[in-house]
Chain A
Amino acid sequence: MTEDIDRSEAAQARDAEEHSGHGDYITHAKSIRSWMFSVDHKRIGILYAVTAAIAFLAAGVFALLVRAELLIPGETFLSAQSYNQLFSLHGIVMVFGFIIPAIPGFLGNFLLPIHLGAKDVAFPRLNLFSYYLYLLGVILIIVAMVVGSVDTGWTFYTPYSARTGPAVLFLAMAVFIAGFASIFTGINFIVTVHKMRAPGMTWNRLPLFVWSIYSTSIVQVLATPVLGITVLLLFLERLLQIGIFDPALGGDPILFQHFFWFYSHPAVYIMILPGFGIISELIATFSRQRIYGYMAIALSSVAIAMLGFLVWGHHMFVSGQSVISSVIFSLITYLIGIPSGIKVFNWIATMYKGSISFKTPMLYALSFLVLFTIGGVTGIMVGVLAVDIHLHDTYYVVGHFHYVMMGGTVIALLGGLHYWWPKITGRMYNEVCGQIAAFLIFVGLNLTFFTQLVLGSRGMPRRYNDYLPEFTFLHQLSTIGSWIMGLGLFLVLGYLLVSLFRGKKAGANPWGGATLEWTHTGPRPDPHNFHRTPFVTRGPYEFDRIGITHTETAEADRDADPPDVVLNQDRT
């Protein structure tokens, strides 16, 4: 049985009646077992969220320690060895434990089926299996690194990594396992998008978040196996002593870099594409405006996913690869800059003639536009062949990718977390705290990473536990920035925990969103999302067609916690 997307009063009343006695996805079953073995995409999403949050917290603390060591020149409280282990832990846990799985695993799982009007993903059991592979991978990664004192950095370049004992192989195995979690999730999401869309949910009615997760899934499925192959080759080299990457055995260390970046560059798009999706949702909802250039944004995600496979060599301009390879990789790198630029321009244009509200999620979206632009233009800079020779492996590169990863992905994730928090938990957080934290994070992030851009272009190499006196001032600014950022992030953790227990009850659609999770589910979705399969008759951002207009919410908007947006009822 299907139902039109624009709901009648009678339909709402019927829903309310059906709600009683069942409970939503959280209250309908309460045992630990019902969480650990749930095949509900929403619960699995929450499992991902908790695990990824712990990984983020740990990796974030490692980063704060690294920055603290750099506050004063010379060795202070960390030996060179501990410093190297800490920055390796920071990178590896952040990349494989947090930033790759976080958005697809958490928000992707939670929202993708609801956005499509489906009950669940295509393969719910595979979905749960993916989570456990990921969990196992993260635990093994941390165990291997701590027990085995791994200090290779997240890039594992041979032959250095070949000298650091068996722990690196163990760690590689852990990454291999986590990789399969990524592949299975990708397959699951691709099939879900193709086969599970509700009636009327055509490709050009998909929320842009779905497009971005879909593009990400393609990359996950195509790129991650190369990581697995590389890991297996490392094993073969070590066990059978056949030379593949280690020059001592006749292998080629540059081959390792090619394999590594063939995965890890596309992996950068696994990290950022879902963030693009979140930003599209935030800007549309908080501007009450249709996305400007919907198809351009959707297809640019796919274009980025495809071109992302052809640019890995730009990490290797000074590695000793041939000059002609470097030239080709540089050219393609510029081409991939264009679709990213298109997205930014379209997002900005979306605000034109909108009705813009500055709630916390929108503050993150606006932060994203500013920070991602810096990440983007510095990316163009390091793509310039002649200039990259100078900038490669300096703090400029560190600053650049942190602007993209932290200023892009993490800011987008924070925006998404605040935006969907009421839908996930059924409660509101403290808006004032939210805005203060968003401000602190924005300021801290810029102070931390802009100074690193300058440090790098002035010649400061990365992965140094000590530095020349001339770099002291900039390093100190960067460390102070990291404290401000850390303060903001701990504030977020604090008020969100408070909100879980004491937050005001949220309505079903506190922001006036027009995608299905806002219009067709309760404050917290039911175990099976919808009572009836929605029948979709409009695009995801047609706010005017469901009666969400500016005037109805203008008053409410000044309250910290606005009541539900009243839906237009004359369109049945």
Chain B
Amino acid sequence: MTGSFWLPDGASTLSSEIDSLFHFVNWASIILFVGVVVAIAYLAYRYRRRPGGPAPMRVKPNKMVEISWVVLPTILVLIVFNWGFRLFVEQSVAPPNAYEVYVRGAMWKWDFEYPTGAVTTNELHVPVDRPVRLVMSSADVLHSFFVPAFRVKQDVLPKRYSAVWFEATRVDTFQVFCTEYCGMGHSVMLASVITHSQGDFEAWLASAGVDEDTPLPELGAQLYQQQACIGCHTLDGTEIIGPTFAGLYGKTETLDDGSTVVVDDDYLRESIVDPNAKIVQGYANVPMPAGYTGLSERQLSALIAFIREQQ
């Protein structure tokens, strides 16, 4: 494990200040806790009931003691509040020159749309040493965008924008979690933030979204990962959340209403863009998210080609 005992390595401009505040509160807590435990242990030992020991004696409450244990903690928490408040304002207000990326959360994947129109799924590419502001909304239920290394988190809501900003300080790959419970695929609603140096980022952006030369099955394999199909559909025959892709193509499936359907190109296409149209028996309680309507025809063909290959 990297980082300190309590916190993973920070990688944003604000993370070290947030960590200092965390450690301040943590050490104050530890000191208070040790004080409490020592006091309990001492009193418990010193005044333990034993034959021949002293009888209990009335204790006259001491005003100074009582006032001090009201006033001192109050001062301490007000210091902590003030510190947390000032940092919170910094966290809440993005610098004006921030690079904006639009984030769309959907059950159970993250789409990132850049100012150039390029879109990536489950991979957010950003430059280092430049503030990045994410403008986020959800396609369905609540999600929450959490990057532990940047110490940022913000709920993502349907029909409303929320925003979060950070400035990454080093080139690396960082974990993104969804932290607002969103159903079956909540635990696989993961993504990465990939940071680039300024020059590399420009180069990446110029090539992003261009896939005209990739053969369809190969593009399909990439989409299988990027579009998070992998979270529910395996390639090795095991059934997790949705039907496996292994041997799927050409198979005759029984639907919920008892009728049957042959898995062909048309059925696959319909199942991707309108997953509730024909549900295979046993999967009625596991509706596939409707977040795949935005795929292009080429992407759909690529996915179908990829599924066809899984025999």
Residues of chain A at the chain B interface (Cβ within 8 Å): 75, 79-81, 84, 149, 151-153, 155, 157, 159-160, 163, 247-248, 253-254, 287-290, 292-293, 296, 318-320, 323, 326-327, 330-331, 334, 337-338, 341-342, 344-345, 348-349, 351-358, 366, 369-370, 373-374, 377-378, 380-381, 384-387, 389-390, 392-394, 454, 457-459, 461-468, 470, 543-544, 549-551, 553-555, 557
Contact = CB atoms under 8 A, between A and B. Distances in A.
B1 interface: yes
B140 to A, nearest CB: 8
B181 to A, nearest CB: 4
B26 to A, nearest CB: 7
Contacts of B159: 247-248
Given A160-B142, A292-B59, A334-B81, A352 B181 contact: no
Contacts of B160: 247, 320
A393 B156 CA distance: 14
9 contacts: A80-B184, A355-B49, A358-B48, A370-B36, A373-B33, A381-B26, A386-B18, A389-B151, A543-B56
Given A159-B141, A253-B158, A390 B5 contact: no
Nearest to B10: A390
B280 interface: no
A289 B56 contact: yes
A466 B184 contact: no
Interface in B189-218: none
A457 B58 contact: no
A464 B154 CA distance: 18
Contacts of A352: 43, 47, 59
Nearest to B287: A163
Task: Tell me the interface secondary structure of chain B in the complex.
Answer: mixed
Contacts of A457: 6-7, 22
B70 A338 contact: yes
B153 interface: yes
B8 to A, nearest CB: 5
Contact of A320 (B50, B57, B162): B162
A454 B5 contact: yes
A80 B187 contact: yes
A29 to B, nearest CB: 40
Interface in B30-68: 32-33, 36-37, 39-40, 43-44, 47-59, 61, 65-66
A465 B187 contact: yes
A389 B152 contact: yes
Interface string B136-167: 00001110101011011111011110100000
A159 B51 contact: no
A320 B159 CA distance: 13
Given A354-B56, A378-B29, A454-B5, A348 B175 contact: no
B84 A355 contact: no
Contact of B80 (A149, A356, A380): A380
Given A384-B25, A555-B51, A356 B87 contact: no
B1 to A, nearest CB: 6
Contacts of A254: 157
Q: Size class of B's contact patch? A: 35 or more
Contacts of B26: 381
Contact of B53 (A151, A334, A550): A550
Nearest to B150: A390
B85 A461 contact: no
A355 B53 CA distance: 8
Contacts of B44: 351, 356, 358, 366
A384 B81 contact: yes
B188 interface: yes
Contacts of B52: 554
A345, A390, A470, A543 interface centre (most CB from chain B within 10 Å) = A390
A348 B47 contact: no
Contact of B6 (A80, A289, A454, A466): A454
Contacts of A551: 55
A549 B44 CA distance: 17
A389 B183 contact: no
Contacts of B66: 293, 296
B34 to A, nearest CB: 10
B69 A337 contact: no
A155 B177 CA distance: 20
Contacts of B6: 454, 457-458
B286 interface: yes
A348 B42 CA distance: 10
A97 to B, nearest CB: 21
Given A327-B85, A351-B43, A393 B56 contact: no
A248 B22 contact: no
B97 interface: no
Contacts of B58: 290, 353, 544
Contact of B155 (A319, A334, A459): A319
B241 interface: yes
Contacts of B181: 84, 152-153, 155, 157, 160, 462-463
Nearest to B55: A550
B144 A393 contact: yes
A380 B77 contact: yes
Interface stretch (B88-96, B256-264, B271-279): B88-96
Nearest to A164: B183
10 residue pairs, one from A and one from B, having the closest CB atoms? A459-B148, A386-B87, A377-B29, A385-B88, A384-B84, A464-B187, A393-B179, A334-B77, A351-B43, A160-B141
A373 B77 contact: no
B78 interface: yes
A544 B56 contact: yes
Contact of A370 (B28, B40, B56, B80): B40
A153, A348, A358 interface centre (most CB from chain B within 10 Å) = A348
Contacts of B49: 288, 355-357, 550, 553-554, 557
B84 A330 contact: yes
Contacts of A358: 44, 48
B117 interface: no
B161 to A, nearest CB: 9
Given A80-B185, A81-B286, A354-B47, A248 B21 contact: no
Interface string B90-114: 0110000000000000000000000
B204 to A, nearest CB: 25
Nearest to B187: A464
Contacts of A390: 18, 22, 148, 151-153
